[in-house]
Chains A and B, each alone.
Chain A
Amino acid sequence: PLDEEAKDEL
């Protein structure tokens, strides 16, 4: 699973 910062894309 991806860590939280991964959601840096729009």
Chain B
Amino acid sequence: MNIFRLVGDLSHLLAILLLLWKIWKTRSCAGVSGKSQIMFGLVYITRYLDLFTNFISIYNTTMKAIFIAVAIATIYLIYFKFKATYDSNHDTFRMEFLIVPVGGLAFLVNHDFTALEILWTFSIYLESVAILPQLFMISKTGEAETITSHYLFALGSYRALYIVNWVYRYYFEGFFDLIAIVAGCVQTILYCDFFYLYVTKVMHGKKLSLPA
């Protein structure tokens, strides 16, 4: 464990708790892409299948359990409890256009052709594009609530910090995982446009609105 990965994990935890809190407090999931949340749920479930079989540390097990629980709770709030506030007209990104290619790629490019490894690879590839429906929804509505933009900033920062963690681990531990690194770079690059808007607008107290 290194500081970059720890701060990255905490940023990730902050992001998903922020979103859950926003939906619960405002009793509305307006502006939130349910499709992205479903894909994040899939990411955690396929990645943390070894939750009960492969004990790494208390921290590792606890965080995995929290991520899965919060993801399921968020999906529940969006599609059940506050279903009336779900903006399905703007959440129209076709998930199958992401899940099918990612599933195929996981079969073709992986470290080990075993079920667990292919599911882990699928999870890594899916996570890199899971935010697309959310970014697409914001581009369609032309704006995002400030709390939603904080959620996105924390979520994007987590994987950016993981990239720094991978550089650190390469130089100090000689460890690297090309699949995670390439997918992590793609994932972070997808946030660049948002990061620019966040820094130039939200940090100056303005609302995040995309140029019409």
Residues of A within 8 A of B (CB): 1-2, 4-10
* Interface mask (B170-204 → A, CB under 8 Å = 1, otherwise 0): 00000101001000000000000000000000000
Is B56 located at the chain interface by the 8 A CB criterion?
yes
| A8-B60, A9-B180, A10-B67 as given contacts; A2 in contact with B111, CB under 8 Å | yes
Residues of B within 8 A of A (CB): 5, 9, 12, 50, 54, 56-57, 60, 63-64, 67, 111-112, 120, 162, 165, 175, 177, 180
Chain A at the B interface: mostly helix, strand, loop or mixed?
Answer: loop
A10 to B12, CA, bound (A): 10
**Is there contact, CB below 8 Å, between B120 and A7?**
yes
**Is there contact, CB below 8 Å, between B60 and A4?**
no
A6 to B112, CA, bound (A): 13
What residues of chain A lie closer than 8 Å to B56, measured between beta carbons? 5, 7-8
**Is there contact, CB below 8 Å, between B63 and A7?**
no
Chain B at the A interface: mostly helix, strand, loop or mixed?
Answer: helix
The 10 A-B pairs at the shortest CB distance, nearest first, are namely: A8-B56, A1-B111, A10-B63, A10-B9, A1-B112, A2-B177, A2-B111, A6-B177, A8-B60, A10-B64
A8 to B47, CA, bound (A): 11
What residues of chain A lie closer than 8 Å to B9, measured between beta carbons? 10
A8 to B54, CA, bound (A): 10
Listed residue (A4, A6, A8, A9) with the most chain B CB atoms within 10 angstroms of its CB: A9
26 CB-based A-B contacts, threshold 8 Å: A1-B111, A1-B112, A2-B111, A2-B175, A2-B177, A4-B54, A5-B56, A6-B175, A6-B177, A7-B50, A7-B54, A7-B56, A7-B120, A8-B56, A8-B57, A8-B60, A9-B5, A9-B162, A9-B165, A9-B180, A10-B9, A10-B12, A10-B60, A10-B63, A10-B64, A10-B67
